[in-house]
Amino acid sequence: MSAHELTCIKCGKRYSGDDIVYICERCGGLLDVKYDYSAVNTDSIERVLREESAHHSGVWKFSELLPFGAGVRVVSVGEGNTPLYHCDRLGSLLGVRELYVKHEGLNPTGSFKDRGMTVGVTKAVELGVRGVACASTGNTSASLSVFAARASIPCYVLLPKGKVALGKLAQAIMHGAMVFSIRGNFDDALCVVRELCERANIYLLNSVNPYRLEGQKTIAFEIAEQLTKGNIVKSHHTPRTNKHACEIEIPDRVVVPVGNAGNISAIYKGFWELKKLGFTEHIPRMTGIQAEGASPIVDAFKKGEENITPVEHPETIATAIRIGNPVNAQKALHAIRESGGVAETVSDDEITDAQKALAGLEGIGVEPASASSIAGLRRLIEDGVVDSDERVVCIATGNLLKDPEHVVRICKKPLEVDASVDALLHIIRQQTAQLKPNLSSSV
C-alpha cells in the first residue's frame, strides 16, 4: 500500500506522505495517515486474518494497510506475533465471561513500542534523515535505540532524570543511543526534543509522529486474527468452538493503559479500518486506564471536555504512564467516545495488586503500567460499567523485567536457610501459606 497522505484531524489540512511534519502548521492539530481504502487489496488482508501466516513480523504481514510501496527497505527485528492469553482463572475471579490478555511485553525489546518503531524507523530511512530522536519514560527509548542500531542511523534519547527504570535505561545505552538525562519530567523532555528535531533536522519518533501509530494499530489486526483462528494460549486444553466461523471475531471491549495515549488511539484505528473494509460490523468499546496521579484524559472524559488540563507534576509507580500532558489526548478521547467506551483511574496499590494477581494466577509477568488495565477492569466490573457477559481483551504493554526494582520492592525477599534438606523442610512446613499465596484476595 503506498497511496496515503497526512491529514489534520482538527482542520483537515492535507500533507504529502513525503513531508516531514508532525503537527498541523495551520492549526496545531494532530495528524493522521489517510489511505485510499478503495485501493486496498482486502483479499490479502483476509488471508492473514483467516489462514496460517509464517511471516516473521506481526506488523509487516499487514503491509497492505501500511504506508509504503513495494521495494521499501523494511527495518525489522521480528516484532509482533505476540500471544493472546485466555485468562479463565482471573476472569472468573473478576466476574467476566471471557478475559484475554494480549502480552505486548513479549515483543523483542519487551514492549508494544516495537510495532510503532519498525514503521517509524522504516519511514526515517525512506526519508533519508540525519538521525532519529525521542523523549521517553523508558520503553520508547529502548525500542528506538534497537531499531536505530538495526538501521545504522544515529539515535538521540532524552529521559527525565531519576524517573526511568534501570531495565529500560540499560537497553538504550547498550544499543548505542546518545542518552541525555533531563532535569525535569517527561513533558519537559518532549518539549526539548521536539525543538531539537526541528532545529537539527533530526526525525522525531515519539507517538506524535503519525507513522508510529500505523505500526501500533496492528495490535487490533492481530487480536482479530487470533480470535478468528483460535490461536489463543489457554491454561488448559479445550476444543475450539466457533459458532461464527464465517465471521471475523472481535472482542466487545479492549482495555488499554494510557500514558501518551498513542496506543489506544492506534488500536481504535485498527478496528475502525477492519470495519471500514467490511470485515466486521462493530468496533470494541475502547477503555482507557490511567494512574490516579497522572490522569488528564480520564478527567477530561468524565467532565465531557474536548481538551485536557495537563497535570503539572504527574506521579505514579507505573513509570511508563507517568505523563501529565499526553500529546495524543485528542485522538484518545475521540477513540473512547466514538467506540462507546469509558476512561477510569486506578491507584498505585490497585496496580500492584493486579500485577501480582496476573503473575500468580496466570503466569503472566508485566511491568506496573501493564497491570493498570487489569486493575481498571476490576474497578469497572465492580462499578457495574463492564457487564459480566462481555468478551474483554486487556493490553499488557511491557514486560516484567522492564522494572525489576519495583518487583524487589513489592515482593518477599528470598528466605535464607542452611544448606540442609531438613532445614528446608522445616521452613517449608512453617511457610506453606506464604509459599502458596492466595492472590485472589488482593484482586
- Is the pLDDT higher at 275 or at 2? 275
* Mean pLDDT along residues 417-422: 88
- Is the pLDDT higher at 101 or at 417? 101
- Is the pLDDT higher at 442 or at 406? 406
What is the reported pLDDT for 183?
Answer: 93
For the segment 260-303, what is each residue's pLDDT rounded down to a tens digit?
A: 999 999 999 999 999 999 999 999 999 999 999 999 999 999 99
What is the reported pLDDT for 440?
Answer: 47
Determine which of 49-63, 199-213, 304-318, 411-425 has the lowest per-residue pLDDT on average: 411-425
Among all chains, which residue has been given the C-alpha cell 519530567?
A: 185
In this model, does residue 412 exceed pLDDT 80?
no
What is the reported pLDDT for 409?
Answer: 78
In this model, does residue 246 exceed pLDDT 60?
no
For the segment 99-158, what is each residue's pLDDT rounded down to a tens digit?
A: 999 999 999 999 999 999 999 999 999 999 999 999 998 899 999 999 999 999 999 999
**Nearest alpha-carbon partner for 207 in 322, 273, 117:** 117
pLDDT confidence bin for 6, thresholds 50/70/90? very high
Positive/negative CA dihedral, 431, 436, 441, 443:
positive
* Mean pLDDT along residues 364-391: 97
Q: What is the DSSP string of 12-24?
A: --EEETTS--SB-
Return the ∠ at Cα 284 (arms to 301 and 340), rounded to 5°: 35
What is the reported pLDDT for 135?
Answer: 93
* Mean pLDDT along residues 306-316: 95
**Nearest alpha-carbon partner for 208 in 335, 326, 67, 123:** 326
Average pLDDT over the chain reads 91
* Mean pLDDT along residues 22-47: 95
Architecture of domain 78-107+216-405: 3-Layer(aba) Sandwich (3.40)
Percentage of residues in the chain with pLDDT exceeding 70? 94
What's 402-429 look like in SS3? HCHHHHHHHCCCCCCCCCCHHHHHHHHH
Which residue intervals of the chain bear CATH 3.40.50.1100?
78-107+216-405, 113-210
Determine which of 5-9, 47-51, 269-273 has the lowest per-residue pLDDT on average: 47-51
In this model, does residue 85 exceed pLDDT 90?
yes
- Is the pLDDT higher at 358 or at 237? 358
Which CATH code of 3.40.220.10, 3.20.20.70, 3.40.50.1390, 3.40.50.1100 fits the domain covering 113-210?
3.40.50.1100
What is the reported pLDDT for 163?
Answer: 75
Distance, C-alpha 124 to centroid of its chain: 21
* Mean pLDDT along residues 85-91: 97
Please list the helix, strand and coil fractions of the chain in percent, rounded to the nearest 5, in that order.
45, 15, 40
Return the ∠ at Cα 290 (arms to 284 and 291), rounded to 5°: 155
Backbone angles phi, psi at 86, to 5 degrees: -85, 110
- Is the pLDDT higher at 239 or at 170? 170
Burial of residue 429 (CB within 10 Å: 0-12, 13-18, 19+) is: exposed
What is the DSSP secondary structure assignment for residue 366, as one 8-state letter?
Answer: B
Output the CA torsion 138→144→146→152 (10° steps): -150
Among all chains, which residue has been given the C-alpha cell 492473514?
A: 48
pLDDT confidence bin for 2, thresholds 50/70/90? low
What is the reported pLDDT for 406?
Answer: 72
* Mean pLDDT along residues 171-186: 92
What is the reported pLDDT for 164?
Answer: 78
68: amino acid identity, one letter: F
Distances from the Cα of 109 to the Cαs of 54, 55, 70, 195, 214, in angstroms? 21, 19, 27, 27, 19
What is the reported pLDDT for 384?
Answer: 97
* Mean pLDDT along residues 55-77: 94
* Mean pLDDT along residues 181-200: 93
Read off the pTM.
Answer: 0.92
- Is the pLDDT higher at 165 or at 330? 330
In this model, does residue 421 exceed pLDDT 60?
yes
Q: Which residues pair with 286 in a beta bridge?
A: 254
CA gap 162, 181 in Å, rounded: 8
CA gap 67, 127 in Å, rounded: 13
